[in-house]
Every structure is written in C-alpha cells, then in structure tokens.
A and B are shown apart, each in its own frame.
Chain A
Amino acid sequence: MSFVTVRHFTEADIPIRTELLRESRFAANLTDFAVVAADDALVANQMRTIHSEHRVKRIFTLCGPRDQVVGFAWITSIDWRSQTCELSFGILPRYRGYYGAPAVAAAHTYVRDELNMRVTVNQVLAHNTMMHSADALAAQRKVTCAYDSYTVGEWRSACYWTETDEDFQAMRARLDDRRRELAERIRAMKHPS
C-alpha cells in the first residue's frame, strides 16, 4: 500500500503547481516556459487542461499521508487506442527525495490500473538527476536526443525509454526491496544485537 495517493488536479492546486513550474531546478531540469509566462497565461493553461483537454492531457495531484500536496504527475501524448502515454512528474522541493520514488510508483499504478495504459514513455533531460542517478539514467535510456530542449540558457540532451507492465513490476519490486532493507537497518539501529 503506497503512502502517496493520486487524485484529480483541481483549480485549488493551480497556485501550487504554478510555483513549482517556476522553481529554479524544475525550470532547468524540465522546462523553463513558466519563468517567462504571465500568471494569467499559466492559470488559463492549467484551467484549459482541467476543463477541456481530457483526451490529450491530464494532470494529477500527488498527496502524502496527511493529504498534503507533494507534487504532480501529468500525462501527454496519449494514445487511448494503443494504450500508451508519456508520464511526467514534478515533486515539490521540500518533498523531493523521500517522496520521489513512492510518488512515481503511485502515478504509474493509477495510470495502469485505472486508465488502462500498458506502456509509458519517459523523457528525462540527461543532466536531470532529481529522480534518477546519472548511472541509472544511462542504464535505462534507449534513445538519446541531442538538442532536445533549451532550458535556462543551455541546449539539453534528452534520454528516452519506454516502460511496460513487466518493467513497472520489476521497478516496484526493487522499491519494495529497498524499503525492506531500510526498515531492517532502522530496526537494527534501535535494537543492536
């Protein structure tokens, strides 16, 4: 049972997500369009997604155990018939690290179990180590696309790979193993033999 839950993105979430879009690491690692966009344009953009872009884009709010917003996930490039989409994440700065992996797992679970997506496409800029280490990124990528994006004054390369149900189950198993290891280490620290 994940301690991160997924719910629909609402109008009340717009200010939190807008702040995230303008955060310096988000701008450098994902996209910096929000830095030069006006407030009303950003609000209108997100309102449009809530009200009329359901077929092509959806945003979800990721919540922690006290229902606090820890970040957002969004799907784009949705092919409902082929059951594929691109899945992206933005975790609020104060929740990065601890909530990152469970948030990713919760969003993947929702997209597969409820929206019936079978394959997700990941795109991560090569210098972005917010969610993946450089080694993990190198191991996972299937395609590297040079000059993919221009953020914060620099051209960025992007790593692309797809994730099937089997890949996702393997990722979940690794996550569970890591959590178990950590719990055992904490138990050993509390009760040294």
Chain B
Amino acid sequence: MTEMRRLDIAGGVAGLRAAGDQARGFLGTDPVTQNDALLGSELTRIGAQVYGHGDTLLGYLPNVDQPRQAYLASTSSDPDALRLFTAFLGTYQRCTSYVATVPADSVAVGAFDACGFRRIGMLRDHQYRSGRYHDVVMFFATGEDVCRS
C-alpha cells in the first residue's frame, strides 16, 4: 500500500505531460490539447486525484452519486499497478466498484482486461484525436472481480 504515492495537482499535471499520448483521455483530460494550466484546472474542477506507482500514473475520481464507486484511469498496461490501486482505494476510500472509460487503442486497455474488469460497452466514435474519431471502451469491475483476477 505504501508504494502508491498521491501527487499534488502540479505533480499530476507534470506526470500527465510526461506520459504524453498514453495520458490522452485520462479522466477526460488530454495533455495534447490542454496546456498545463488547463490540465490543472480540469483535475481540480472534477475533483480528481492522481497517484504514482513506479512509472504508472493512476487516476481516481469518486462517483458523486455513488460514493463507493470510483472512476479510474491508468497510463500503462501494467495490471499489477491497477490491481494495487483498486486495493488501495478499497482500503482507504472504501470503494467497492470501479468504472473506467478507456480509448480503445490505449495501452491501458490491457491493464483493465487483465485485472478482472469486464467490457460493458463501447462508445463508438466517442473521442476525436490525431485526425479522426476513436472508440472508447467502458469497463466495470467490483472489488471482488479484481481480487479474483
């Protein structure tokens, strides 16, 4: 649990900037189209928290309508970082279920697939970048799903 470190807004922005393309769509942000000031104000506005685990950035956003549910984001394909993060959120934020919207061609898709998340939908042509519209995958998992994976 101690391997997960909370980043302040400036640290989160610097991490997203460094992650570049892998951070596109991270909790709805985009370092390619948003400058540091806008990234910071967006993370603040939506109430996002950014954590670091090794080279991976992980994002947490509480669902205000269901406080035990969290929206998640990751910048890497590492399932261990994501598994550790959900355990961390289960322990410290009492989260019991998780939702993520991940660009279909993002490296993070692999992490969610390998971590017990189910693909519960596909948002067609949902996100515009690099000259065309891209699909976005919706993932869902309970804490138990992730533990079993």
Interface size on A, residues (CB 8 A): 13
| Contact assessment for A54 and B130 in the assembled complex, using a CB-CB cutoff below 8 Å | no
| Contact assessment for A113 and B131 in the assembled complex, using a CB-CB cutoff below 8 Å | yes
| Contact assessment for B128 and A54 in the assembled complex, using a CB-CB cutoff below 8 Å | no
Most buried by B among A8, A9, A51, A112: A8
Knowing A114-B32, A114-B33, A115-B33 are in contact, say whether A54-B38 is a contact too (CB < 8 A).
yes
| Contact assessment for A54 and B35 in the assembled complex, using a CB-CB cutoff below 8 Å | yes
A58 to B34, CA, bound (A): 10
Task: Say yes or no: is A116 at the interface (Cβ < 8 Å to chain B).
Answer: yes
Interface size on B, residues (CB 8 A): 11
Task: Say yes or no: is B135 at the interface (Cβ < 8 Å to chain A).
Answer: no
A51 to B13, CA, bound (A): 14
Contact flags (1/0) for B16-35 with A, using CB distance below 8 Å? Answer: 00000000000000001111
A113 to B129, CA, bound (A): 6
A64 to B53, CA, bound (A): 34
Task: Say yes or no: is B36 at the interface (Cβ < 8 Å to chain A).
Answer: yes
| Contact assessment for A112 and B38 in the assembled complex, using a CB-CB cutoff below 8 Å | no
Residues on B lying within 8 angstroms of A by beta carbon are 32-38, 128-131
Residues on A lying within 8 angstroms of B by beta carbon are 8-10, 50-52, 54, 58, 112-116
Cβ-closest 4 pairs across A and B: A113-B131, A8-B35, A51-B37, A116-B128
